[in-house]
Amino acid sequence: MSSRHPEFKSEFDERQNLLLTGRPGVGKTTLIRAVVEKLGPSKAGGFWSKEIRESGRRVGFSIEALSGQVGVLAHCRLSSGPRLGRYFVNIKDIEEIAVPSLVSARESDKLIIIDEIAKMELFSREFAHEVRRCLDSRRVIATIQQRRGKFLDEIRARKDVRLLELTVSNRNEMPRRILALLGI
């Protein structure tokens, strides 16, 4: 029998992964960037994505590791890779930039930033595998698309996940709420 008293929970028992969902363009990535800025970049690792625009038109998405590496997640002018709408997904950069950034954050005990868990990224089995490993650490702040899917539904159903919906009406208060949930 354990010597721990059941009425006292360790900090680890209390930690939950925070998953942000919401409509495209509502500010999920902006929110994650604000949280990382408040924490300080030395306390977080992982990646976020960003639109690639040319002449005001979206032509793709980049992957930006918090460590500084940048790659292409998807682009309309790529000629290979899985196709999603008008974009071709660049699995190579997912597996050479996004996945290693997650492994590094997980192994260094940093807060793990995943922007985002969505159909493009999930074309990589390595990515899906590493997302599960990161979630097991209970140190993840991630965005997850609202669409349904086997893997996405599995992630949302985990007992160690707290799903927060970002909306236009709550996005100004959400950074404070997330920092409070992190104990900051």
The conformation of residue 110, written as its DSSP 8-state character, comes to P
The conformation of residue 160, written as its DSSP 8-state character, comes to T
Predicted pLDDT at 182: 85
Share of the chain above pLDDT 90, in %: 84
For residues 10 and 79, which has the higher predicted lDDT (pLDDT)?
A: 79
Cβ-count burial 90-124 (b if 16+ within 10 Å, e if not):
bbebbbebbbbbbbbbbeeebbbbbbbbbbbbbbb
31-51 pLDDT, tens digit per residue, is 999 999 998 879 999 999 999
Mean pLDDT of the chain: 90
119-175 pLDDT, tens digit per residue, is 999 999 999 999 999 999 999 999 999 999 999 999 999 999 999 999 999 999 999
Domain boundaries, the chain: 11-181
| Average pLDDT estimate for 79-95 | 97
| Average pLDDT estimate for 79-101 | 97
Predicted pLDDT at 9: 34
Peptide linkage before 116 cis (omega within 30 of 0): yes
SS3 content of the chain, % helix, strand, coil (to 5): 35, 30, 35
Q: Three-state DSSP class for 184? A: coil
Task: Select 11-181's CATH number: 2.60.120.620, 3.30.365.10, 2.60.15.10, 3.40.50.300.
Answer: 3.40.50.300
Residue 147 CB: number of other CB atoms within 10 A?
10
